[in-house]
Structure 1
Amino acid sequence: MKHFALLMLLSTGALAQEALTEEELFVAESAPGPAEAVTSFLEAAHEGDFARAAKWLSLEKLNPEVRAVEGPRLARRFMFLLDQFLTLDAAKLNASPGDTVVAAGELPLGRVRIPVQLSKQADGTWHFNSRTVKAIDPLFEENGSPLWELLPQWLIRRSLGPLGAWQWLGLLTMFVIGWALSRLSSAVLRPLLVKLTKLTANTWDDALVLRLVKPLRMFLFMVAMAVGTRALAFPMNAQSTVDDIVRAGLVAAMVWGLIVVGGLIAEALEEKASKDNDFRSARAVRTQVSVLRRVITAIVAVIGGALVLLQFPPVRHVGMSLLASAGVAGVVIGLAAQRTISNLLAGIQIGLTQPMRIGDTVIVENEWGWIEEITLTYVVVKVWDLRRVVLPISYFLEKPFQNWSRTSTEILGTAEVWADYRTDVDAVRAEVTRVVEAQRDTLWNGKVNSVQVTNLTDKAMLLRVLISADDSGKAFDLRCILRERVMKFLQQQQYGLPVLRAEVPLLQNGNGEPPTTRVQRDA
């Protein structure tokens, strides 16, 4: 309480910012460190004493009335974020002498990660700083669960393994709801599909609808689980495991459906062959269909099992081994066929994982271009000068490549210009701002615009102009414009472009001494 009272005095400006007295220095040295601060916060929060836990949050900017309400609420939410998404290592929280800020880790917020930091106060105590406190609500809105805030404290505090008791109950509830919704959906869809199949004369589609009910039910169940578990706000590791299981279930459902469709096609061919008057021909067809059915089913099952295993990182190597074993068949029919099968499998894997898509901007083999076409065996890259680079699809699994639009087409671009030391950098910034503002509706997206001195030599300084654009093509055009305009601007300045500086010794006069007067120098 003494430390907290001292902190409040500091935050209101009642205590002057002066050198610490001997007594204050002793208090600061004996104050708990960042590891103890985190431990104290979590202990108070887990006990349900959020008012006490809020004392470890930097809330100086809030008035006492608001702090009394907001402090416990923020502490409750912050406890959830730390428990679910951050593994704290107390050994890394020990501050060195002179440290004023210590990072405890990072929390995910969309595509970025927000640092969790503790700052040393004037009294020597450590609190979660104001930057971290301001991020609590956005972080909870992104990663939290609206159900969690409605639960009683006694249920929140209980945990079983990596999940809380409420999450286990929620998972069980989602399992039951997903199972019920999958059966209900299939029960609704089945009559509709049966009515549609009655419009056709053949019976093949009728059997297809009846046999696809179970794979469809499994598929819908996995979709329901994928959607429902998001509301439970699992920890990152647990959510990753659930996502792996859901993806594996979706793959298994699709493989199951493919096997069912293949079986129906085989049965239809066998039925058609049985109606043939030529008995020998019918037997030959039935034998061929039976063998092909078993071979195709085995191949689909092996590939499907491998794809299922690929969803789980601990056994991913087993899945890769199963996929690689598909090349054994290629040994029988020749090395060329093995290579073809390898490319086909690579195409299947790329189709599932999608490291690149049609239209993505990529750099492959030092060539900049766009993905124009993706097949099972090769990929066509359209280069900027309209040439086409054709690469085997296995290339994108075996070698690294740059994808500039994997998650977003937005990109940063730079334009570097050498300038004299006497160049007015602020004037260059103003000129760059004027240029990019003129391109706001066409090239510049209005997000990033800066000019920095990034290098110094004995002759000049390097100015780097950093801008942002909606895609790489616009960024390239804007970079070219900036180089031209900045160069033109520097040419118009008295001290703009870099010059070569040299020390030239003066000629000596007839006495062997350097000239001392202007007349002597002009002579």
Structure 2
Amino acid sequence: MCETRAAARVVVACLAALLAVLCLALPSAAQDGSDYWYETEPEGIGTRIGDALDRSTPRQTMRGFTNASDARDYERAARYLNLSRLSPADRATRGPEIARQLASIMERQVWIDWTGLPARPDARIERSGDSNGRAGQPRRDLHVKTLDAGGSAYDIRLARYKPPEAPALWLFTPQTVENVGPLYATYGPRKYESMIPERLKREVWGLWLWEWIVVPLSGLGALLLGWGTYALVSALSRRSERGWLKAGLERSALPLAILVMASAGQMLLSWVVSFSGPVHAFLRPTLTILMVWGVGMTFLRMLDAILHRITLRYVGEIDDRRGRDEREFYTSIYALRRLIVLVMVAVAAMVVLAQLNLFESLGLTLLASAGVLTVVFGIAGQAVLGNIIASLQIAFAKPVRIGDAILFEGDWAYVEAIFYTFLRLRTWDKRRIVVPVTYFVSKPFENWSVTEARMMRVIELWLDPRCEVDVLRRKFEALLKEDPDIEDPENTYTYATEHRPEGLKVGFYAMMPDPSTGWAVQGRLRERLLAHVRDEHPDWLPRERIMDVGAAAGGAARAGAAD
């Protein structure tokens, strides 16, 4: 019995020692175990006896901080910061300065969404659509804004802290306090802002007074700069002797002008002045999108000019007289251009999202709503996506190529261009037919140039049944040998293809080098054959025979009397 009690005491002692070790090793878990706040010591969080500051909710803390900053009372604004990571000697001196810098950053970079700041002490999520459906859950930490400085991302956050035997309160986190330094160096006032008179730095209708003056003047200056760039590029294009450079500069004048305007705006924001949050929230994404668009369109239009120059140099004007390899080369160039456009659009979208720090906010949302977006875009963009896919299918499978002669719904035309959503056909009489790609690939058509441009053409004449086909055959062969556009005069046929009481249809078949030449030769040979019949054998021309009704009736009566 004594041995059993001794063993039990040893086990209890070991468990107690293990529990003590765990308690010492995990102090943070004990401090942060609550879902409603972070447990902390009162030093550094600005609590005072009889304190009248309202820091009970995120909205009240943000409102109190902004009101104190607007009143230039940075000592009071510092009491909305968690300065626990500063030494006691630095809190009184550095606290107000950090509050002033944070206020300047938020004035210039943060457009506060007051409706998005909870008015509850526990910051409970009240709507199921917020925060990935975590409705009803309390929060002790809120994200306000993420800013990029020097290639690194810095957060501005609010958190709830509870000192012992005191109510919980919301403050800017110690990490936010540490992030103020690099953020202020990047987004703080520019050196030229010291030249702005103090009377212009008061707020009017949500903006500083000097912004109402500088923004319109900056816009006017950007327009003048863009106009000058456009005129300069246009003048350079007129003076350029190289064809591809001339065409490229002419097409790129507008994108380059917009690029210069957007770049000037970015330099104004980076080096000259720093606008307030509402202006910056509008200008920054606008300038970023314009710069990306300007660079992309300039590159694409210069590339178009180079590809067009290559096409004219090595292929020339595309029609059915060109060989199969040349038409395939031209079609491949168009396919390459479409792929480049798709890649550029994807890269531009990624650059814009990265520059605006939208990946973090949109990533989970897009993943969570991928099914809904798929359905919405699938229904709304069904026609566009179908045309793009069909266009790429034509570009790679090549059932039809640029320059092919086709017969589509009764129209003889050339394939002049293949775009993302439509084809442009050029008829022989210079009309343009625009056909949606999905409609084109769903309809049968004749491709007269799918393997080679040569084709057999037929000339059909209705003649009197007394005509001699062999004589016409020899004449047709002689005409083919005399015609300069016929490359294979031996490949010819002449047949009587149909007979009716009113005449005989004779078909003259000949191999033509291409559809367009064949059309002209076909008309020329028809004229010469008809002229030969008219001049040499006029009795072979078709005649309409009319029966004499009276003679026919008398003959029938005599035949009946004889019977």
| TM-score, normalised by the number of residues in structure 2 | 0.37
Higher relative contact order (CA 8 A, sep 6+): 2
The structure with more radius of gyration: 2
